Amino acid sequence: MSMEEAAHRVEPEAGIEPGSEPDVEPEPGTVRPGGRTARVRAAVLRATGDALAEHGFAQLDLADIARRAEVGKTTVYRRWGTVAGLVADLLVDMAEQSLPRTETGSLLADLTANARLVQRTLSDPRQGALFKAVLAAATCDPRTAEALHRFYDTRVGEWAPCVEEAVERGELPPGTDAREVIRAVSAPLYYRLLTSPAPLDEAAADRAANAAVSAARAGVYQR
């Protein structure tokens, strides 16, 4: 991993770093099947993430992305067509790179790990700016919104088993909507990111996890 990639990456388990495929500059013998096509996609999506984080989505421009990625403009236009198509593919990549959930055997510990992962991601300067940019882009384009919904659907689905297992262990009432509990963990962190100048600290993450567990125990998320 180059220094620049290392600087961009919050930490490995964040699992939502877009376009960070290690075959952008492959070591000899490390090129995976897919080869050039995969490398071009990785370079273009990394450039898209960089541009979004730096300038927001309103400034996004396919020619600029091609320049940043050192890829021919024609390739970018032919493969992604529009800025919306590019951001949608970035979100597909982000969903694919979402890493497995934590499994501690305790609901509160699992959800605290989840909340801190979201908090670290959103409070990282590049990642926070990138998430703001894709949320903004989704408000302007239905295709981007659909891709964003799929990204969150994948992420929520990855963590829902923490709640399902807590129900099986008897930690939570039967019929608890696992996905709704996972959404409840993220919601206050995103709300703060978008509506408040207050920094997103670990205390906010722990509070979000505690609140979701308290409400779930009280049966608020029972179907």
Binding residues (CB under 8 A) for a copy of itself: these are 56-58, 132-133, 135-140, 145-146, 148-149, 152-153, 180, 183-184, 186-188, 190-192, 194-197, 207, 210-212, 214-215, 217-218, 220-221
DSSP 11: -
57 or 80: whose CB is closer to a copy of itself?
A: 57
Helix locations, 71-223, DSSP H: 73-80, 83-96, 107-123, 125-140, 142-168, 178-195, 202-217
Min CB(58)–a copy of itself separation in Å:
5
Question: Considering the complex, what minimum distance in angstroms separates the CB of residue 175 from a copy of itself?
Answer: 14
DSSP β-bridge partners for residue 222: 176
Q: Which is nearer to a copy of itself, 55 or 79 (CB)?
A: 55
From the CB of 104, what's the least distance to a copy of itself, in Å? Answer: 20
Quick one: 14 or 135, whose CB is closer to a copy of itself? Answer: 135
Please say which residue, 120 or 183, places its beta carbon nearer to a copy of itself.
183
CB of 135 vs a copy of itself, minimal distance in Å: 6
Tell me 198's DSSP state: S
- Give dist(CA 85, CA 105) in Å, integer: 40
CB of 218 to a copy of itself, least distance (A): 4
Within 10 A of 14 (CB to CB), how many other CB atoms are there? 17
68-103 as b/e: b if 16+ CB within 10 A = bbebeeeebeeebeebbbbbbbbbbbbbeebeebbe
Q: Work out how close the CB of 77 gets to a copy of itself at its nearest, in angstroms, rounded to a whole number.
A: 20
Residue type, 148: L
- Report the amino acid identity of residue 217: R
For a copy of itself, the closer of residues 38 and 187 by Cβ is 187
Smaller CB separation from a copy of itself, 8 or 183: 183
Nearer to a copy of itself, 32 or 191 (CB): 191
Give the separation between CA 74 and CA 83, rounded to whole angstroms. Answer: 14
Least CB distance from residue 189 to a copy of itself, whole Å?
Answer: 8
d(CA 200, CA 56) in angstroms, rounded, equals 20
